[in-house]
């Protein structure tokens, strides 16, 4: 069968992005699994999709590297000629050894640049989904775990920068949705935050069971496919939504 829809999921070699890639796999969709360095993990995700009858390939690119991103988009253009779904999932800044400007370069500048490069490949009706956390989306109106403020600031700046492109999205008939989640159970980020600020993670758990990777990924994949365009989708953390002033 001919691929009729092409989806790119950034940072899909593990965690939430890998699950989004799996959930986007449908017979008429070719899923491109982007990764930064974990090629084997990315290949496993693509293999899993193919084993279930889906279509997938891997494409390595450090999103914060301008040249690598341009090469990735050029390859998508040459191979498929179009991009119907762009899921901006890759994120970072808590990595050991990351310099102080890295979070902003990756979570704001790189997201905007990737979108600018991808837009010419995206037909009317195509979707862009930006994945974020409640800790970032509501920043600085809510407290964040220790050490997370630079990430929250940069992801919030990325979301704002993409909203700033709304006129261009509208002109091209492209739908932009933000999917924001509470802390997601079982992820590496939660294990990292648990070590840095156990009280912050316990406080979220005591409010309600944390959403699972599958639940969050389902909302993200749904936003990339749905005929409805809610603009923003929240997953978990209903207390964030009722009291924005605290």
Ligand X SMILES: NC(=O)c1ccc[n+]([C@@H]2O[C@H](COP(=O)([O-])OP(=O)(O)OC[C@H]3O[C@@H](n4cnc5c(N)ncnc54)[C@H](OP(=O)(O)O)[C@@H]3O)[C@@H](O)[C@H]2O)c1
Q: Which is nearer to ligand X, 54 or 181 (CB)?
A: 181
In the structure encoding, which two tokens stand for residue 176, read together? 């932009």
Which one, of 164, 107, 113, 106, lies nearest residue 135 by Cα? 107
Binding of ligand X by 221 (CB under 6 A): no
By CB under 6 A, residue 148 contacts ligand X: no
* x-marked contacts with ligand X along 70-89 as a string, rule CB under 6 A: -------------------x
Residue 89 CB, nearest distance to ligand X (Å)?
5
Closest separation between CB of residue 237 and ligand X, Å? 9
Q: What does the alpha-carbon distance between residue 73 and residue 59 come to, in Å, rounded to a whole number?
A: 10
Rg (CA), the chain: 17
Give the DSSP letter of residue 5. E
In the complex, minimum distance from the CB of residue 86 to ligand X, in angstroms, rounded to a whole number: 13
Region of 14-22, 76-84, 117-125, 196-204 interacting with ligand X (CB under 6 A)? 14-22
Identify which of 52, 42, 61, 57 has the alpha carbon closest to the alpha carbon of residue 6: 57
Task: Work out the number of other CB atoms within 10 angstroms of the CB of residue 128.
Answer: 25
CA 125 to each of CA 68, 103, 154: distance values in angstroms, whole numbers, following the listed order = 27, 31, 28
The yes or no reply on residue 189 touching ligand X (CB under 6 A) is: yes
Contacts with ligand X by CB under 6 A: the residue count is 30
Q: Segment 44-73, which members bind ligand X (CB under 6 A)?
A: 62-64
Closer to ligand X by Cβ: residue 125 or 230: 230
The beta strand positions in 127-236, using DSSP E, are 127-133, 175-181, 232-235
Q: Which of residues 156-185 bind ligand X (CB under 6 A)?
A: 181, 183-184
* Closer residue to ligand X in complex, CB, 172/207: 207
CA 32, CA 30: separation in Å to the nearest integer?
7
Residue 188 binds to ligand X (criterion: CB under 6 A): yes
CB of 173 to ligand X, least distance (A): 26
- In the complex, the smallest distance separating the C-beta of residue 235 from ligand X, rounded to whole angstroms, is 8
Structural contact between residues 36 and 60, judged by C-beta atoms closer than 8 angstroms: yes
Check residue 33 for interaction with ligand X (CB under 6 A).
Answer: no
State the minimum distance, in angstroms, from the CB of residue 62 to ligand X: 4
Q: What is the largest CA-CA distance in the chain?
A: 53
Tokens representing 160 are 């704002």
Beta carbons of 10 and 89 less than 8 angstroms apart: yes
- Least distance in Å: CB of 92 to ligand X? 4
Footprint of ligand X on this chain (CB under 6 A)? Answer: 10-17, 35-38, 62-64, 89-92, 106, 131-133, 181, 183-184, 187-190
């Amino acid at each position: 069968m001919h691929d009729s829809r092409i989806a790119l999921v950034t940072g899909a070699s593990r965690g939430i992005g890998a699950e989004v890639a799996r959930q986007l796999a449908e017979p008429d969709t070719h899923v491109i699994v982007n990764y930064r360095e974990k090629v084997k993990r990315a290949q496993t995700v693509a293999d899993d999709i193919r084993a279930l009858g889906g279509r997938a390939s891997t494409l390595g690119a450090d999103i914060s590297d301008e040249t690598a991103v341009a090469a990735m988009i050029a390859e998508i253009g040459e191979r498929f000629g179009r991009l119907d779904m762009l899921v901006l999932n890759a994120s970072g800044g808590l990595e050991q050894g990351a310099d102080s400007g890295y979070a902003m370069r990756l979570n704001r500048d790189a997201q905007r640049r990737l979108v600018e490069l991808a837009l010419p490949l995206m037909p009317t009706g195509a979707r862009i989904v930006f994945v974020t956390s409640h800790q970032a989306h509501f920043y600085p109106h809510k407290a964040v775990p220790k050490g997370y403020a630079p990430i929250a600031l940069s992801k919030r700046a990325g979301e704002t920068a993409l909203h700033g492109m709304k006129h261009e999205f509208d002109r091209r008939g492209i739908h932009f949705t933000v999917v924001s989640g509470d802390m997601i159970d079982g992820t590496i980020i939660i294990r990292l935050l648990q070590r840095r600020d156990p009280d912050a993670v316990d406080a979220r758990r005591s409010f309600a069971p944390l959403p699972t990777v599958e639940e969050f990924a389902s909302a993200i994949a749904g936003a990339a496919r749905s005929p409805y365009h809610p603009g923003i989708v929240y997953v978990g953390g209903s207390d964030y939504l009722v009291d924005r002033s605290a």
